[in-house]
Structure 1
Amino acid sequence: MIEVKDLKKSFGDTEVLKGINASFDKGKTNMIIGASGSGKSVFLKNMLGLFVPDSGNIYYDGVPINEMEDEEKSDLRKNMGMLFQHSALFDSMTVEENVMFPLRMFSKMRKKERLKRAHEMLERVNLEGLNKSMPSEISGGQQKRVALARAVVNYPQYLFCDEPNSGLDPRTATVIDNLIQEITRERDITTVIISHDMNSVMEIGETIVFLKDGLIAWEGTNKEIFKTDNQAVTEFVYSSELFKKVRIAQNEGL
């Protein structure tokens, strides 16, 4: 579980996060949504430890990050998995070498053990037979699945996903969403996803935090978001590409 208490972050005179309070549960797909400039990326980077908050704190299973010793912070980073927006695979490494990379960095496994774990994770994301392929030889959706296998190969306690469906067609995006949710539940991971994709919100938004101007304007589930009378949320939801298509289809059917 991750708890965020009164988190504030500014850059110069610009206050980006203005006092965030939120909690993200284990075994659930927790989503952070909001328009561009709402503070989503800065929020994520604070949770990852890439930015230091001006005030407030982030608690990982009850332990505040600003009170951790360097060794504790190092252990925390080993327990984090990251799925990047554009996969961020190493072009010079094969698929299995990409997946093994965190094990080389953060574990004491022998090469045989690393290979076995990598093969298991590639099988889990339905990529058997592509172990020796180069990233340039596989599709964008396959690259994203490799990146997901790499993010969870070390069995992290926390998984962070930055726009995991960026650039993917709807069908492939659904595959990625389902894999993230399944693996989150299987391994009881605290998963936090930044997304602007309303398809993802509908599919796997078990808990949703909506940011607006550096503050949480709404919290709820994918079942509640379409029933809220919060104007900021409804404007965001119904301006999405998904609902533009729905409206077009409805108008064409009239």
Structure 2
Amino acid sequence: MIEVKDLHKSFGDAHILKGITTTFDKGKTNLIIGQSGSGKTVFLKCLLGLFNYEEGSIAYNGQVFSKLSEDEKRNIRAEIGMVFQGSALFDSMTIAENVMFPLRMFTKQSKSEMEDRVDFVLKRVNLDDAHKKMPSEASGGMQKRVAIARAIVNNPKYLFCDEPNSGLDPKTSIVIDNLIQEITDEYQITTVINSHDMNSVMEIGEKIVFLKNGLKEWEGSKDTIFKTDNQSVTDFVYSSNLFKKVRRVYLEENS
């Protein structure tokens, strides 16, 4: 679990995060959504420890990050897996080498132990025969699965995903969403996803935090988001005719 209390972050005179309080639960897919400029990217980077913040706290399983020693912070970082928006694979490394990279950084495993673990996670994301391929030989969806394999290779307690479906077609996006949800449930990871993809919200949004102008405007689930009368949320979610129809059908069926 990740607990956030009264989080504030500014850049000069620009107050970006204005007192956010929420929790992200273990074994659930937690989504951060909001329009551009809402503060969701800054929020994600604070959760990752990439940005310091002026007020508030972030606790990982009860450990307040800002109060930890450098060694303790390193231990927390070793428990974090990250899927970047553009996959961020190393072009000069094979897929197997990319996945092995965190093991080289954070563990003292033997080469054979690392190879066994790489084999396991690549099989888990259905890339059994991709070890020797280069990233340039992989499709966008395949690269994203490699990024997920690399993110989970260290058995992380926390998984962060920044726009994991960016640049993918709808069918591949569903595959990636389902894979993330399956892995979250299977390994009981605390997963936090920064997304603007409403299909992802409705597919896997077990916990949704909606930000607007640096404030937590609303939080709930993919089910309760249909029922909210918060105008900012409905304007964001139902900006397309498709989701307006989905909401109307849902309300009719559950009235």
TM-score range, shorter chain: over 0.9
Equivalent residue number for residue 223 of structure 1: 223
Unaligned runs of 5+ in 2: 247-255
Partner AA of 1:117 in structure 2: R
| Partner residue, 1:154 | 154
Q: CA RMSD, aligned part only?
A: 1.4
* Change over 3 Å in CA distance of 1:88–1:240 after alignment to 2: farther
Q: Which residue of structure 1 aligns with residue 33 of structure 2?
A: 33
Name the amino acid aligned to 2:112: K
Please give the residue correspondences for 1:105-124 in structure 2 after superposition, counting only pairs within 5 Å. Answer: 105-124=105-124
Q: Aligned partners of 1:31, 1:58: CA distance in 2, in Å?
A: 17
Task: Name the SS of the counterpart of 1:31 in structure 2.
Answer: strand
Q: What CA distance in whole angstroms lies between the structure 2 residues aligned with 1:157 and 1:130?
A: 26
Residues 199 and 242 of structure 1 are in contact (CA less than 8 Å); yes or no, is this contact kept in structure 2?
no
Instruction: Provide the residue aligned with 1:83 in structure 2.
Output: 83
| Aligned position for 1:251 | none
Counterpart amino acid of residue 227 in structure 1: K
Q: Percent identity?
A: 68
Instruction: State the TM-score, normalized to the length of structure 1.
Output: 0.95
Separation in 2, partners of 1:241, 1:72: 49
Deviation at 1:141, TM superposition (A): 0.3
Distance 1:244 1:133 in 2: 43
How many residues end up aligned between the 2 structures? 247
2:224 match: secondary structure: coil
Give 1:238 shift. 1.2
TM-score (norm. length: structure 2): 0.94
SS in 1 for 2:164: coil
Structure 1's unaligned 5+ residue stretches are: 247-254
- Structure 2: distance between partners of 1:152 and 1:211: 27
Corresponding letter in the other structure for 1:49: G
Whole-angstrom CA distance in 2 between matches of 1:41 and 1:56:
18
Cα 1:2–1:65 change in 2 (3 A) is same
**1:125 matches 2:136:** no
Matched, 1:74 2:74: yes
Q: Report 1:5-44 matches (<5 A).
A: 5-44=5-44
Query: 1:166, 1:224 → 2: CA distance?
Result: 25
Deviations for 1:126-184, whole angstroms, at most 9, x for unmatched residues? Answer: 01111100000010100000000000000001000000000000110011001101111
Q: 1:163 to 1:240 in 2, by over 3 A?
A: farther
Work out the CA distance in 2 between the residues paired with 1:241 and 1:155.
41
AA aligned to 2:29 is T
CA positional deviation for 1:239: 1.5
CA distance in 2: counterparts of 1:157 and 1:42, whole angstroms:
21
Structure 1 residue 243: deviation in Å?
Answer: 3.6
Matched-pair contact (CA < 8 Å) for 1:198–1:240: no
Deviations along 1:177-218, whole A, 9 cap, x unmatched? Answer: 011011111111000000000000010000000000101000
Q: Provide runs of 4+ in structure 1 moved above 2 Å.
A: 240-246
